[in-house]
Amino acid sequence: MTSTSSAGRVPAGLLDTEAIRKDFPVLDRLVHDGKKLVYLDNAATSQKPRQVLDTLNEYYERHNANVHRGVHVLAEEATALYEGARDKVAAFINAPSRDEVIFTKNASESLNLVANMLGWADEPYRVDSDTEIVITEMEHHSNIVPWQLLSQRTGAKLKWFGLTDDGRLDLSDIEQIITEKTKIVSFVLVSNILGTVNPVEAIVRRAQDVGALVLIDASQAAPHMVLDVQALGADFVAFTGHKMLGPTGIGVLWGRQELLEDLPPFLGGGEMIETVSMHSSTYAPAPHKFEAGTPPIAQAVGLGAAVDYLSAIGMDRIAAHEHALTEYAVGRLLEVPSLRIIGPTTAEDRGAAISFTLGDIHPHDVGQVLDEQGIAVRVGHHCARPVCLRYGIPATTRASFYLYSTPAEVDALVEGLEQVRNFFG
């Protein structure tokens, strides 16, 4: 352990962040006339290690070609790299089969893909006016709007779990919400705004009892903890690459193989077909059935490198680091006068994204004054406006940590907030 903290006891279980940070060139940046960058916006996107950047460069400099088409050497190399990335992701999430890993452009596309599969599906999966869709009040807009669209287009009823005052799902009426009519339950594993880690088992068990499918949005989980799709027991799991050290433009949808065989494609085009005539077509088996057109090849290869990087450190160690840091950060933030954490106020069942309000100072003003000190946080409703409505606030400031974050950065945030209070107080 090399990180030091001036203001509090250094928590146990931290990673060697000094060594890790050497892999992330951007973390050395100075901003606003020489201020050290303190990057606490990891829930929005992570920074990228040199290993990922080098992989992207090398792909374009040495192997670039379209995949699954040519017979020349570059096409074969590009295909092997792209499909190799699929193998790496499949291993990373403990998928029973590599063919269950569909590459998309981001988690939103993964979630929309499932909504569209179900809208066009035959029985028993079909979502129609006699059926119900279940989500939660703490979803990112990307796991709300696709279901509103599906509900509007099919007449299916959209229902959701509410939230408790301390930022957790209210499952007290689970039997009224998930019923025999429910076709799909879609919920977030770790909330991007509240930080809450949700109780998967209770929801999956109820869904399975009534024969509903389960989709888990793991966008804020895959980067931070061991993600084992078999242990989760869900039918689909969606996440994105850029929050887990990978490039933008690459996402993942994992789905159980028999479902992927049964469900219809959504986007049509090259690569997803078996044969095409002017009258009709037959489709390639999954995952290609769901990957129409030239995929994000370099981005998938970059995600593979990110998965290698994370796995070499160990997702369990990363989770332990973030847990220790979150515990420290929650404690220090609660010392700041007039600061209110929106979400769980302990580190239990909690991820490393911490939202808060500071008196009646608007988050935009908080973020701007922090930025002047080199501290990057996210402000606004975090694409989860219903959560802000639920807690009666217009917006929050959110600090979110990752494997390279340090207690010293938590201290910088706390000192920065003191300056905000002095400025607007």
Partner 1 sequence: MYQEVILDHYKHPHGRGLRDGQAEVHHVNPTCGDEITLRVRMDGSVIGDVSYEGQGCSISQASASVLNDLLVGKDLAEAQKIQETFLELMQSKGRIEPDDAMEEVLEDAVAFAGVSKYPARVKCALLSWMAWKDATAQALSEPSGSADASGGKTA
DSSP letter assigned to residue 64: -
383 is an active site residue: yes
Residues 390-409 that bind partner 1 (CB under 8 A): 394-395
Among 168, 381, 390, 421, binds partner 1 (CB under 8 A): 381
d(CA 276, CA 281): 4
Q: Is 365 in the site for partner 1 (CB under 8 A)?
A: yes
Side-chain-facing half-sphere of 169: CA atoms under 13 Å: 26
- As measured in angstroms, the least distance from the Cβ of 359 to partner 1 is 13
Among 37, 380, 415, 419, binds partner 1 (CB under 8 A): 380
399 closest CA partner among 372, 367, 425, 374 = 367
Q: Is 364 in the site for partner 1 (CB under 8 A)?
A: yes
DSSP letter assigned to residue 263: S
Size of the residue set binding partner 1 (CB under 8 A): 15
Among 298, 388, 413, 414, binds partner 1 (CB under 8 A): 388
Residues 306-325 that bind partner 1 (CB under 8 A): none
By rule CB under 8 A, what string of x and - marks binding of each residue 280-299 to partner 1? --------------------
- As measured in angstroms, the least distance from the Cβ of 193 to partner 1 is 13
- As measured in angstroms, the least distance from the Cβ of 42 to partner 1 is 19
Q: Return the structure tokens found at 400.
A: 């979110």
d(CA 190, CA 302): 24
Paired residues of 111 in beta bridges: none
Interstrand relation of 353-358 and 396-400 (parallel, antiparallel or unpaired)? antiparallel
Q: Is 418 in the site for partner 1 (CB under 8 A)?
A: no
Q: Return the structure tokens found at 92.
A: 């990373």
Closest to partner 1 by CB, 168 or 381: 381
Catalytic residue among 75, 339, 383, 408: 383
d(CA 222, CA 110): 14
Does residue 75 sit in helix, strand or coil? helix
Among 149, 362, 376, 408, binds partner 1 (CB under 8 A): 362
291 closest CA partner among 266, 263, 314 = 266
Closest to partner 1 by CB, 182 or 400: 400
Does residue 30 sit in helix, strand or coil? strand
User: Which spans of this chain sit near partner 1 (rule: CB under 8 A)?
Assistant: 362-365, 368-369, 379-381, 385, 388, 394-395, 423-424
